[in-house]
Structure 1
């Protein structure tokens, strides 16, 4: 599970990659490169959909204040 912030960054990166791949597919004259760019668009779109549908990681719980033990007090670095 990814945090909400990481999911948003990944989704934004997928969107940027889709734009660049679409530009590549429309500008290039070679059919093989165009086919490869279209296949990459499909793969990135699937990745973006997975990220969008992936469950959010639960927020970390604050730690309870644990009492210090004698061992913690005498520990020297």
Structure 2
């Protein structure tokens, strides 16, 4: 049997400052060419998709739905 070193678990900081989601929403709506969603359903979908492309420990604050799809960068 072999053993593996695992990373330390990610825990939510209890001393973190509260998030100003109203200011974030306002700033994103001014800058994003598309939809900015803060509802629970959109955040849950974003979190589920994020598990396939990034760390599962992150909690989505919002979901961004751009109006365009960027072309891949040339190699």
TM-score, normalised via structure 1 length: 0.24
Going by fraction, where is helix more abundant, 1 or 2?
A: 1
Going by fraction, where is strand more abundant, 1 or 2?
A: 2
Structure with more contact order per residue of length (Cα contacts < 8 Å, sep ≥ 6): 1
TM-score, normalised via structure 2 length: 0.25
Which of the pair has more CA radius of gyration? 1
